[in-house]
Amino acid sequence: MENQKKIEQDLKTAIKSGDEVKKRTLRMVLSSIKLAEIDRGHPLSDEDVLGVLQKEIKSLRETISDAERAGRADLIEDTEPEIHILEEYLPQPLSDQQIEEIITQAIDQVGAVSIQDMGKVMKTIMPQVQGRAEGSRVSAVVRAKLMGE
């Protein structure tokens, strides 16, 4: 709830200051948060709000990727500031070393010995890294460790 309140406060500030990009971006993410609350039937926790933020950032990055293929520099220019605004609400990203330590601890904790144990390891890791590391990046490291690379 704290993240959502901060976003709402920042939206009010953006409206008062006339910052159109920030206003548009924060309205978009608040709309996504409200939609997720309706879908789940209850207010979102801070972790859930982080998940919504990550989903929005991922969507914006996909938009940039599509715009690059289409040669739409104008769309890229509009989207990049939105990503930077949303990234301000995410916690400090984990370093590669921190991710490695978390993965090693999780592998030891669940007693994983092969790639078949990847699901157990990921289930243990994801709550610890949510909002601080991309799942695909974590998954790749876990897979490499379990395959002995």
Q: pLDDT, tens digit, for every residue of 56-109?
A: 998 999 999 999 998 898 898 999 999 999 989 888 888 889 988 999 899 888
Do the beta carbons of residue 52 and residue 33 sit within 8 Å?
Answer: yes
Query: Which domains does the chain possess?
Result: 2-87 (1.10.1510.10), 96-146 (1.10.10.410)
Q: 149: pLDDT confidence band, cut at 50, 70 and 90? A: low
Supply the pTM of this predicted model.
0.73
In the chain, the largest separation of any two C-alpha atoms, in whole Å, equals 56
The residues, any chain, with a CB within 8 Å of residue 50's CB and separated by 6 or more, are 3, 89, 90, 91, 130, 131
User: DSSP string covering 74-111, please?
Assistant: HHHHHHHHHHHHHHTTSPPPPPHHHHHHHHHHHHHHHT
Nearest residue to 52 via CA among 15, 21, 89: 89
Non-local (6+) Cβ contacts of 44 within 8 A are 1, 4, 33, 36, 37, 52
